[in-house]
């Protein structure tokens, strides 16, 4: 690819610009050549997590220069990224972790047969994370970059800002075409609704930006017309159809303000672009895709039942892909399309060789024998100011509409647009349409919205995912002032104590609890019909509720079922792995330290008050130092061994994971890393290493760590074999730990075994709510119950039990209210001080200042 080979030809001209630095072409060429040495000379499959960052782009260009085929994947979608690793077994994995690019080599050579022409692998916009990939050659990429640079007349003085991710073919084409002409690229991941985005654009004299239809929705809401952009030269639009009225409006606005508006058409299968509409034709043909790009051509192929004068749009050009890849074996294939692409779009030719796309073959459905153009229905609704996405059912059409409320009016308008009876149209109202990472409506997710709906179920039709209400809920439970639609429970620092409360309230709001909701972004929740009679309670929540009841009841001597606290250690490890391992290293440290504080501070306050009032314990208890400085042998101070053990374990674990090398090993081998920790924990358990007080070995943090690690391993078990290994270790290591107390050993084995094999247990809603409250308050019940039951145990054991539970719940609520008040006071201060200390009126606050307080893990 010549645009990579000749970077140094542009000398000291700026190539890449960020808020922090500017990289010249000479410097970029040097960095790229250095990076090629890190990738080696043997041709290998390189998987790169795309990000609009200099170091990521350097490694990407280095791989192209060295001839390594690159699989470019979304860097902001860990599940999709890991799915591609599993599907394609790349030889090299490149990703940015905490701002540092890591190159993970998975072998000396290549595990694949790689065709000589293969240069780049991209997911199509509708299948991000899918194993179906587009195979692009060096010629495809180079020719399309040249074509785009030609019709946009890209100049060396141009500076384009990144409004789209680089793993998306449209965003990547902006980078390629500008590097080809020696122009600069302003790298940022900020939204166009962020004022700092436009400050960056103006400060560095940005001349162009690209947008998909959703980008222009955001621009309209943001007030783009009022922005002063003196260096703006042109705007490009692709990635979906923009309504003719809006094309005219942006074209006219550009004429008045001195910039051009280019409508473009393309597919990943054609590298990026196949057509463009010259600005001078936009007012006359705003509905069209324009003409073929330089070097390409169109023809129409007749289709049975297609509207008169239309046919499938066939494109021919040097940028047409080699073909698809579905498995690693397909990477050895050559060109199977020979430069011709069947687009799947229905189109017609209008005046002067300009084409108009009128629909998509796959979006025509037959309902009651009528051929329905779903895209035409969407366009009709758009003319009425409605943002909609249509899905064809077996006997009906389902219309998802964003931000509307008049269900019957929408149903009638949809029926008129396609000729169906009103009874054959169902409407699903949503706060926001689900979209892909590139802003397009996610048809698969829209179909899922109504997957469980039935024609006679008005409840299903009117189910709405209110993202505003969800943001409010997350802010309230997690005491965070930084909740956005992209936030998830984990990204906001949620953990096991807040998890239970959130899951209960979320289920009441949505009517169900989505799978993996804790890692799902707010915007990605979808409505589902409510389940009234049974609810699934997660096993770890149920174990916490049962364990705290057994702990309190056994201490009061209502019964003698011991071992609950040791089961809770496994649950703590399980939740630590679920809530903290997926987050970046620096954020993880902050989250865990916040969690430790949420455990330690209430404990220290409570014990400090108890010591001041009664003198029952040594001061070391209030400082949570009994395990280090406390008395030898069993004393009342050891009642709080569990809290100290959790605090010590979390602090040691997070310190170890803060080491970059260990962090990388854990991310690459999560399960085996956890099992290695189990092995380390078994050393003191079997007294290979002597640690702790000999009289209290089963209660010291070093001795119980292996149970925490077993819960961690249970959370990272992804296969049946993993679960069998963890189960075998549990069964082999728990016996003998409690000096022959068979009941205790069976309880711990059973509890940990349930954690390994069962994700949830169905139960009536009343029991699920009781379990949720007990689990949420479990730490506080454990902390307070000693002071409650001791005076009452002998004469009133059941009263002692009830009060122990009640006082713990009240203390939990008091802590929750205190944190809520703290957030409310902070928000009030922020409103009263528009320019807080440490920031200037013209600068955004630092990243550290934006981070909210975090909540606990236990």
> 673-688: per-residue pLDDT in tens?
999 999 999 999 988 9
Q: pLDDT above 90 covers what percent of the chain? A: 49
pLDDT at 392: 74
Which range among 27-31, 129-133, 292-296, 780-784 shows the weakest confidence by mean pLDDT?
Answer: 129-133
pLDDT at 827: 53
**504, pLDDT greater than 80:** no
Q: pLDDT above 70 covers what percent of the chain? A: 86
- Which pairing describes strands 208-211 and 159-161: parallel, antiparallel, or unpaired? parallel
Going through 76-117 in order, the beta strands assigned E by DSSP cover 92-97, 100-105
pLDDT at 643: 93
Q: Which of 271-285, 458-472, 513-527 has the highest mean pLDDT?
A: 271-285
* CB 441 within 8 Å of CB 389: yes
Which range among 227-231, 501-505, 750-754, 830-834 shows the weakest confidence by mean pLDDT?
Answer: 830-834
Kindly state the tokens that stand for 725.
Answer: 């290994």
Give, as one character, the DSSP assignment of residue 370: E
Give the residue-averaged pLDDT of 824-851.
Answer: 42
Q: What is the DSSP string of 144-203?
A: HHHHHHHHHT--TT-EEE--S-TTSHHHHHHHHHHHHTT-EEE-----TT-HHHHHHHHH
The residue that leads in pLDDT, 303 or 227, is 227
**237, pLDDT greater than 80:** yes
pLDDT at 835: 45
Kindly state the tokens that stand for 778.
Answer: 């479990």
At residue 491, the 3 state secondary structure works out as: coil
The secondary structure element, H or E, covering residue 345 is: strand 340-350
Closest CA to 748 of 815, 807, 789, 698: 698
Kindly state the tokens that stand for 558.
Answer: 């209502």
pLDDT at 188: 94
What's the helix, strand, coil split of the chain in %, to 5?
Answer: 50, 15, 35
List the domains of the chain with CATH numbers: 2-356 (3.40.50.12780), 368-461 (3.30.300.30), 539-819 (no CATH)
pLDDT at 430: 81
Look over the chain and give the mean of its residue pLDDT values, rounded to a whole number: 84
Task: Please give the backbone phi and psi of residue 210, each rounded to the nearest 5 degrees, phi first.
Answer: -115, 150
pLDDT grade for 477, boundaries at 50, 70 and 90? confident
Q: What are the Cα distances from residue 265, in Å, to 146, 536, 552, 649?
A: 16, 46, 67, 56
**25, pLDDT greater than 50:** yes
The length of the chain in residues reads: 858
- Gap between the Cα atoms of 602 and 813, Å rounded: 12
The residue that leads in pLDDT, 798 or 764, is 798
pLDDT at 460: 38
Closest CA to 346 of 384, 279, 298: 298
Which range among 13-22, 25-34, 76-85 shows the weakest confidence by mean pLDDT?
Answer: 76-85
Give the residue-averaged pLDDT of 224-251.
Answer: 92
- Gap between the Cα atoms of 231 and 253, Å rounded: 15
pLDDT at 446: 72
Kindly state the tokens that stand for 814.
Answer: 């008091």
The residue that leads in pLDDT, 111 or 395, is 111
Residues in contact with 616: Cβ distance below 8 Å, sequence separation at least 6, in sequence order: 610, 636
- Gap between the Cα atoms of 682 and 724, Å rounded: 18
Give the residue-averaged pLDDT of 243-255.
Answer: 93
Residues in contact with 295: Cβ distance below 8 Å, sequence separation at least 6, in sequence order: 143, 146, 147, 317, 318, 319
pLDDT grade for 42, boundaries at 50, 70 and 90? very high
**703, pLDDT greater than 80:** yes
Give the residue-averaged pLDDT of 269-275.
Answer: 94
The pLDDT tens digits of the residues spanning 715-743 come to 999 788 999 999 999 999 999 998 889 99
Chain-centre distance for alpha carbon 673: 23
The residue that leads in pLDDT, 396 or 752, is 752
pLDDT at 499: 77
Q: What are the Cα distances from residue 833, in Å, to 577, 821, 829, 839, 843?
A: 39, 18, 6, 11, 15
Kindly state the tokens that stand for 448.
Answer: 């899922």
The pLDDT tens digits of the residues spanning 305-333 come to 666 788 889 999 999 999 999 899 999 99
The pLDDT tens digits of the residues spanning 409-418 come to 888 888 888 8
The pLDDT tens digits of the residues spanning 531-571 come to 445 667 889 999 999 999 999 999 999 998 999 999 999 99
Which range among 60-64, 536-540, 578-582 shows the weakest confidence by mean pLDDT?
Answer: 578-582
- Gap between the Cα atoms of 428 and 460, Å rounded: 8
pLDDT at 435: 76
Residues in contact with 644: Cβ distance below 8 Å, sequence separation at least 6, in sequence order: 624, 625, 626, 627, 701
pLDDT at 447: 65
pLDDT grade for 826, boundaries at 50, 70 and 90? low
Which range among 34-48, 666-680, 794-808, 827-841 shows the weakest confidence by mean pLDDT?
Answer: 827-841
The pLDDT tens digits of the residues spanning 327-379 come to 999 999 999 998 999 998 888 998 778 999 887 776 677 665 566 778 878 88
Closest CA to 120 of 138, 107, 102, 104: 138
Which range among 116-120, 497-501, 623-627, 849-853 shows the weakest confidence by mean pLDDT?
Answer: 849-853
**147, pLDDT greater than 90:** yes
Closest CA to 541 of 510, 518, 521, 511: 518
Kindly state the tokens that stand for 586.
Answer: 């620096």
pLDDT grade for 386, boundaries at 50, 70 and 90? confident
The pLDDT tens digits of the residues spanning 158-179 come to 999 999 999 989 999 999 999 9
Task: Please give the backbone phi and psi of residue 762, each rounded to the nearest 5 degrees, phi first.
Answer: -70, 140
């Amino acid at each position: 690819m010549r645009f990579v080979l000749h970077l140094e030809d542009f000398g000291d001209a700026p190539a890449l610009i960020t808020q922090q630095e500017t990289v010249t072409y000479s410097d970029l060429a040097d960095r790229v050549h250095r990076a090629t040495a890190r990738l080696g000379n043997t041709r290998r499959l390189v998987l790169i997590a795309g990000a609009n960052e200099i170091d990521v782009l350097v490694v990407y260009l280095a791989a192209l220069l060295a001839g390594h085929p690159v699989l470019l994947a979304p860097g902001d979608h860990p599940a999709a990224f890991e799915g591609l690793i599993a599907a394609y077994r790349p030889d090299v994995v490149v990703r940015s972790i905490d701002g540092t690019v890591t190159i993970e080599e998975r072998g000396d050579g290549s595990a694949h047969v790689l065709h000589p022409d293969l240069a780049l692998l991209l997911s199509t916009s509708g299948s991000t994370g899918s194993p179906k990939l587009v195979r692009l050659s060096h010629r495809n990429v180079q020719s399309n970059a040249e074509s785009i640079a030609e019709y946009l007349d890209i100049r060396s003085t141009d500076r384009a800002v990144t409004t789209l991710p680089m793993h998306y073919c449209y965003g990547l084409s902006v980078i390629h075409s500008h590097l080809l002409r020696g122009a600069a690229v302003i790298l940022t991941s900020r939204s166009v609704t962020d004022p700092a985005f436009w400050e960056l654009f103006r400060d560095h004299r940005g001349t162009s930006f690209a947008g998909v239809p959703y980008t222009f929705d955001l621009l309209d809401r943001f007030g783009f017309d009022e922005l002063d952009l003196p260096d703006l030269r042109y705007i490009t639009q692709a990635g979906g159809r923009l309504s003719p009225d809006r094309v005219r409006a942006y074209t006219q606005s550009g004429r008045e303000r001195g910039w051009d508006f280019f409508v473009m058409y393309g597919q990943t299968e054609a590298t990026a672009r196949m057509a463009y509409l010259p600005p001078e034709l936009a007012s006359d043909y705003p509905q069209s895709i324009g003409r073929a790009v330089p070097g390409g051509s169109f023809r129409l192929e007749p289709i049975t039942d297609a509207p008169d004068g239309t046919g499938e749009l066939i494109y021919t050009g040097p940028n047409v892909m080699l073909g698809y890849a579905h498995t690693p074996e397909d990477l050895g294939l050559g060109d199977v399309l020979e430069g011709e692409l069947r687009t799947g779009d229905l189109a017609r030719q209008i005046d002067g060789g300009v084409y108009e796309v009128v629909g998509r073959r796959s979006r025509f459905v037959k309902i009651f024998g009528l051929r329905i153009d779903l895209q035409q229905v969407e366009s009709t609704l758009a003319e009425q100011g409605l943002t909609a996405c249509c899905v064809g059912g077996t006997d009906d059409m389902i219309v998802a509409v964003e931000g509307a409320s008049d269900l019957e009016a929408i149903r009638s308008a949809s029926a008129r647009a396609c000729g169906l009876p009103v009874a054959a149209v169902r409407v699903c109202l949503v706060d926001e349409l689900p979209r892909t990472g590139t802003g397009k409506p996610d048809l698969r997710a829209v179909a899922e919205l109504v997957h469980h709906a039935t024609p006679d179920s008005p409840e299903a039709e009117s189910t709405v995912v209110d993202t505003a209400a969800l943001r409010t809920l997350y802010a309230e439970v997690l005491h965070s002032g930084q909740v956005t639609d992209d936030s998830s429970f984990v990204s906001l620092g949620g953990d096991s104590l807040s998890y239970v409360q959130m899951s209960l309230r979320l289920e009441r709001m949505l009517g169900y609890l989505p799978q993996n909701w804790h890692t799902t972004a707010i915007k990605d929740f979808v409505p589902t019909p409510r389940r009234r009679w049974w609810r699934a309670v997660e096993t770890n929540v149920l174990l916490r509720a049962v364990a705290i009841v057994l702990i309190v009841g056994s201490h009061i001597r209502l019964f003698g079922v011991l071992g609950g606290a040791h089961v809770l250690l496994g649950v703590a490890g399980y939740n630590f792995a679920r809530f903290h391992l997926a987050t970046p290293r620096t954020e993880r440290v902050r989250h865990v330290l916040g969690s430790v504080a949420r455990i330690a501070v209430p404990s220290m306050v409570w014990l400090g008050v108890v010591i001041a009032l009664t003198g029952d314990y040594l001061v070391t208890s209030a400082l949570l130092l009994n395990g280090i400085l406390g008395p030898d042998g069993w004393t009342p101070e050891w009642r709080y061994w569990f809290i100290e053990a959790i605090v010590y374990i979390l602090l040691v674990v997070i310190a170890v994971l803060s080491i970059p090398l260990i962090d990388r090993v854990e991310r690459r081998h999560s399960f085996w890393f956890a099992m290695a920790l189990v092995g380390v924990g078994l050393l003191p358990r079997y007294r290979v290493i002597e640690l702790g007080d000999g009289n209290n070995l089963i209660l010291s943090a070093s001795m119980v760590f292996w149970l925490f690690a077993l819960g961690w391993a249970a959370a990272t078990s992804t296969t049946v074999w993993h679960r069998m290994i963890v189960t075998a270790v549990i069964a082999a290591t728990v016996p003998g730990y409690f000096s022959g107390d068979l009941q205790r050993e069976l309880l711990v084995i059973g509890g940990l075994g349930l954690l390994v094999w069962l994700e949830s247990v169905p139960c009536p809603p009343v029991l699920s709510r009781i379990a949720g409250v007990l689990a949420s308050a479990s730490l506080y019940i454990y902390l307070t119950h000693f002071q409650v039951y001791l005076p009452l145990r002998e004469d009133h054991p059941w009263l002692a039990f009830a009060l122990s539970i009640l006082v713990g719940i009240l203390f939990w609520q008091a802590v929750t209210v205190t944190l809520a008040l703290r957030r409310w006071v902070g928000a009030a201060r922020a409103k009263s001080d528009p320019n807080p200390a440490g920031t200037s009126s013209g600068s955004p606050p630092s990243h550290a200042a934006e981070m909210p307080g975090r909540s606990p893990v236990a």
